[in-house]
């Protein structure tokens, strides 16, 4: 029967005072001798990550942040680190040029930092919205109402919870260790002009209906 060997910690199972080790799982194969075992990593999987994200979603940004903190409070300290690893991977995987163009349209401009904040917001909206937006950014029109969006520091919630649980300030040092084998972000794609309204309309017709001022038509009053 599989069993999980968590991080090696001190006597207190929620204390990170000893060096954190990757969470590993050892499973005996059926009909094999006990000595023959398969070892695998038992980090938080994507299903568990998205469950936390979606349980915490609230329409109001402040309520959303607090709800995510509360949900993360149910996890052990090392699971909070694993959650952040997954959050960062999701942000990295959304580093796509077309999504940046959509963010530029939605927020009326979008710097490098602004695009990261946009991706934080997108992850916070849950798996369905996130995965559809990566395939087709125009699908975001289905969950938006014409207002700009803001991640409101959702990706800092794990840091706050970790510090509250442990009383320690080494979150990023531990996070760097946990992220050693994280996949690199995908290619961003081919640049295009975000300030070209015709290109915007071609790529994002539904979003443009919400966010782009229609082109001026002929004078309907006519001339004398």
- pLDDT at res. 28: 37
Predicted local confidence at residue 112, as pLDDT: 86
Q: Are residues 30 and 70 in the same domain?
A: no
pLDDT confidence of 139, banded at 50, 70, 90?
very high
CA dihedral 61, 67, 71, 73 (to 10 degrees): 100
Domain match, 166 and 207 both: yes
Same domain, 60 and 104: yes
Determine, yes or no, domain membership for 221: no
Based on the structure, what is the number of domains in the chain?
A: 2
Same domain, 87 and 159: yes
Q: How far apart are CA 172 and CA 156, in angstroms?
A: 11
- Whether the per-residue pLDDT at 134 is higher than 80: the answer is yes
Write down the pLDDT at residue 216. 62
Counting residues of the chain whose pLDDT is more than 90, the rounded percentage is: 64
Question: Is residue 82 domain-shared with residue 183, that is, in the same domain?
Answer: yes
Assess whether 194 and 119 both reside in one domain: yes
Q: Is residue 170 part of a domain?
A: yes
Digit-coded pLDDT (tens) for 161-181: 999 999 999 998 887 755 555
In a domain, 220, yes or no: no
Which pLDDT score, from 0 to 100, does residue 121 have? 97
Same domain, 131 and 198: yes
Domain with 101 in it:
46-211
Give the model's pLDDT for residue 188. 74
């Amino acid at each position: 029967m599989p069993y999980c060997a968590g991080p090696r910690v001190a006597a207190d199972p929620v204390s990170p005072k000893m060096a954190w080790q990757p969470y590993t799982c050892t499973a005996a194969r059926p009909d094999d001798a006990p000595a023959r075992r398969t070892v695998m990593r038992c980090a938080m999987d994507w299903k568990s990550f998205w469950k936390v994200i979606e349980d915490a979603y609230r329409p109001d940004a402040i309520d959303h942040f607090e709800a995510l903190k509360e949900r993360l409070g149910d996890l052990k300290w090392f699971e909070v680190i694993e959650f952040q690893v997954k959050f960062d991977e999701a942000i990295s995987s959304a580093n796509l040029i077309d999504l940046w163009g959509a963010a530029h349209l939605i927020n009326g401009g979008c710097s490098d930092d602004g695009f990261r904040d946009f991706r934080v917001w997108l992850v916070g909206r849950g798996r369905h919205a996130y995965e559809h937006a990566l395939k087709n950014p125009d699908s975001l029109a289905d969950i938006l109402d014409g207002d700009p969006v803001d991640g409101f520091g959702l990706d800092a919630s794990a840091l706050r919870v970790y510090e509250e649980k442990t009383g320690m300030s080494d979150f990023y040092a531990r996070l760097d260790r946990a992220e050693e084998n994280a996949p690199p972000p995908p290619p961003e794609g081919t640049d295009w002009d975000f300030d070209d309204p015709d290109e915007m309309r071609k790529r994002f017709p539904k979003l443009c209906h919400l966010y782009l001022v229609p082109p001026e038509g002929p004078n309907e009053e006519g001339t004398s």
